[in-house]
Amino acid sequence: MLLWWRVAGMFAWVTVAALAVFHGANAIFGVGYDRWAHAARAGAMFVLVVPAVVLVTRIPDRATLSGIGLTSLRQGARWLLIGMACWLIPAAAGVAGCLVFGWTALAPHGSAGQMLVTAAGLFLLVFVFEAFPEELVFRGYLFGNLAVRLGPWPALWTQAILFMLWGIINGGPNSLSRSMLFLVFAVVAGLLRIVTGSVWTSIGFHLAFQTAAQLFGSIGGQFTVSTPSALNVLAFGVLPFATALTLCLWLMRRRAATPAPHQHSPPPGKTEG
């Protein structure tokens, strides 16, 4: 019973936080998109959610952050990069395919320098607003607690359904396609969390996905996309989601097969020891 109180309490808190941030920013900055409003939402979401997860994990739960999959950034950096690669590699192939076959066309609006500055800003905002807080709650705290009691696979589907429900009620536009996106994304991110044991992997996957989606969309405003559906559905959705787990396992095997710098074969004619 205590488990479900923990799950319900954290889900309620992140839902209230998201609604407060969404409606509060609209009241202050207006309904339309504004970069300052985006930054304010990001900061508020981070402050409301991340310390809450840390405090609940350490004090009432008497657990450690590593127990819910969050190590230090130094320890988790490789998993962060693997998670990003699991989205970026198939997405880049998808974008290239869409352009080669004429399914969409891209028209840049500014210089390469302007795009890099915008991309860097969005990268930071996505990390603070979405990737870190959301993954810490759903693939970190909720999945970690559910997996201890239920096992990894029931925990995977439970957190995915909760993430979909959270997406429905958190203030964004509701539609069947958006709900399914939340569900499928949560399943893929949860699988990456299971196979690597680190929430940093799902953070990296989330970070790459949302940054690119915003950069190529109306928030970033850096490109005119002739057929957004081809880019969003195929390149940014189907290909990365379908191949992320396989690519992650392949990258893990390559890393495991790569010898450390001190693990070398002795020169010909010599033996070690």
Kindly give the confidence (pLDDT) of every residue in the chain, 273 residues in length, as a single tens digit, with 9 standing for 90 and above: 688 999 999 999 999 999 999 999 999 998 888 889 999 999 999 999 999 999 999 999 999 999 999 999 999 999 999 999 999 999 999 999 999 999 999 999 888 899 999 999 999 999 999 999 999 999 999 999 999 999 999 999 999 999 999 999 986 677 888 999 999 999 999 999 999 999 999 999 999 999 999 999 989 989 999 999 999 999 999 999 999 999 999 999 987 766 544 444 344 444 443
Query: Does residue 18 contact residue 172 with C-beta atoms inside 8 Å?
Result: no
Beta-carbon-side half-sphere exposure of residue 231 (alpha carbons within 13 Å): 20
Q: Mind giving me the DSSP string for 145-194? A: HHHHHH-HHHHHHHHHHHHHHHHHHSSSPP-HHHHHHHHHHHHHHHHHHH
Domain boundaries, the chain: 2-254
Q: How far apart are CA 179 and CA 135, in angstroms?
A: 17
142-194, pLDDT tens digit by residue? 999 999 999 999 999 999 999 999 999 986 677 888 999 999 999 999 999 99
Listed residue (171, 146, 208, 168) closest to 17, CA to CA: 171
